[in-house]
A and B are shown apart, each in its own frame.
Chain A
Amino acid sequence: MNTRLSADDYISLLLFYQRYAETLDAGQWERWPDYFADECSYRVQARENFDRGLPLATLSFESKGMLKDRVYCIRETLYYEPYWQRHVVGAPVVTAADQHTVSAHASYAVFRTKPDDVTQVYNVGRYQDLLLRAPAAEHGWLLQSRLCVFDSDLIPNSMIYPL
């Protein structure tokens, strides 16, 4: 399978990754589902389970509707101490590409800052993505699946916001 993208396509893919991170870092949760296709999957899984092929995941959403439901939870129903996130996302590595889809992965580090506290490393791992070319969509691409495999077995406190 071809793994080359045109320079324009790669730059737009790069921007997609950066805008995704920017949207989350700004706390614009309502805009988060816009990065996904209607039929999609979003999962956050510890590496210990991913490497063993075990299904246990910290978050596992199977449609855009579930992503919207999560946003509603963040806004209305979950009880938690708010925090800021800061994503540092590496350049995506394209592993497969065809006319309609691109498979890619990228390392990420997410830092967490609580009010009146020092910044902590919150979650570090790798996005493993399947993206659809979507010229009509706002960001030019849509995630059909995003799997966040994080390296530590532990999550400090809890995971409220998406990565």
Chain B
Amino acid sequence: MTWLPLIETDFLPDNDVVGVDRAEGSFAIYKVDGTVYVTDNLCTHGNARLCDGFLEGVEIECPLHQGRFDIRSGAALCAPLVQPLAHYPVKIENNFVCIELQAH
């Protein structure tokens, strides 16, 4: 089990999303009412970054075709999305948002 530190919590805006690029991937980090969620940043429909999209509650809307994902489960909520989004276990350690990467 590997915990990957992504970003200091101080840099997370409330009820908004930021993107972080790492060698391990591109991640979208959300903070909703004090809770942090992390998903893949790339939409499962087309080449668009979800961190450029619109966060409404716990739903992230892709800026390209307005597909929406539930950031808690990665579930695809509407057309044109078919594939769910990868999401990651999160813990806050030393003020850093860390995610657990699954061994592939």
* Interface, chain A (partner B; CB < 8 A): 46, 48-49, 52, 54-56, 153
Contacts and interface: CB of A to CB of B under 8 A. Distances in A.
B39 interface: no
Where chain B touches its partner, the secondary structure class is: loop
A52 B47 contact: yes
Interface in B33-76: 42-47, 64-65
A55 B42 contact: no
A48 B47 contact: yes
Interface string B67-104: 00000000000001011000000000000000000000
B42 A56 contact: no
Interface of B: 42-47, 64-65, 80, 82-83
A48 to B, nearest CB: 5
A56 B82 contact: no
Nearest to A153: B47
5 contacts: A52-B47, A54-B42, A54-B44, A55-B82, A56-B64
A46 B42 CA distance: 16
B43 to A, nearest CB: 8
A88 to B, nearest CB: 27
A125 B82 CA distance: 26
Max chain A C-beta neighbours (<10 A), residue from B46, B64, B82? B46
A54 B47 contact: yes
Nearest to B42: A52
Contacts of B47: 46, 48-49, 52, 54, 56, 153
Nearest to B83: A55
Contacts of B45: 54-56
A48 B64 CA distance: 14
A153 B80 CA distance: 19
A46 B65 CA distance: 15
A120 B65 CA distance: 28
Nearest to B65: A56
Nearest to B64: A56
A70 to B, nearest CB: 19
Nearest to B43: A54
Contacts of A52: 42, 47
A120 B83 CA distance: 37
